[in-house]
Amino acid sequence: MIAYQLSVFAENKPGRLAKITGILGREKINIRAITISTSDVFGVINILVDDPRRAHTVLTNEGLTASLKPVIAVLIEDKPGGLDKLIQLLAEEEVNIENAYGFVIESWKNAIFVIDVDQVEKAQELLKLHKFETLNASALQEIEPFHYMKY
């Protein structure tokens, strides 16, 4: 399954992220994961949201430079070596990971690792063959947050 990552190109200045989160909040678009990479004066903000196409539309209508890119959200075990199984498979098959980030959805049980790869179709076939579960935008939207116990 394919998910879609929203990438927003922005100046590295105070308030740029606030503008993006303000627009998405106003439009009731939920942010599921976010990463920010900067290089001096500009940066890229990669976002997984519950409605990527609408998010892309509203951000571009507000004058922001945004793009949608297919990514693969892989469900992995949240345990030592869980991520390594995925990474070793892709390396052995010469699929290059160009961008990635992950987050835990249930401690010591499940995590999601989002990968942007150079060979999306090949990666999807490999993941299916090796029984990795992948999530599309709808499945990402339905993830229940892990509730931490108070001590």
Residue 111: the pLDDT is 94
Please name which of 8, 17, 88, 87 lies closest in space to residue 44, comparing C-alpha atoms: 8
Tokens describing residue 106: 């249930």
- CA 124 – CA 64 distance, rounded (Å): 31
- CA 114 – CA 83 distance, rounded (Å): 11
Domain ranges of the chain: 3-70, 71-141
Options 3.30.720.210, 3.40.640.10, 3.30.530.20, 3.30.2130.10; which CATH number does 3-70 get?
3.30.2130.10
Options 3.30.70.141, 3.30.70.260, 3.40.980.10, 1.25.40.10; which CATH number does 71-141 get?
3.30.70.260
The model carries a pTM of 0.87
Q: Is 1 helix (H, G, I), strand (E, B) or coil?
A: coil
Residue 138: the pLDDT is 82
Per-residue pLDDT of the chain (151 residues; tens, 9 = 90+): 899 999 999 999 999 999 999 999 999 999 999 999 998 899 999 999 999 999 999 999 999 999 999 999 999 999 999 999 999 999 999 999 999 999 998 888 999 999 999 999 999 999 999 999 999 878 887 876 555 545 4
Distances (CA, A) of 116 to 6, 62, 109, 145, 151: 12, 26, 23, 24, 38
Tokens describing residue 18: 């606030």
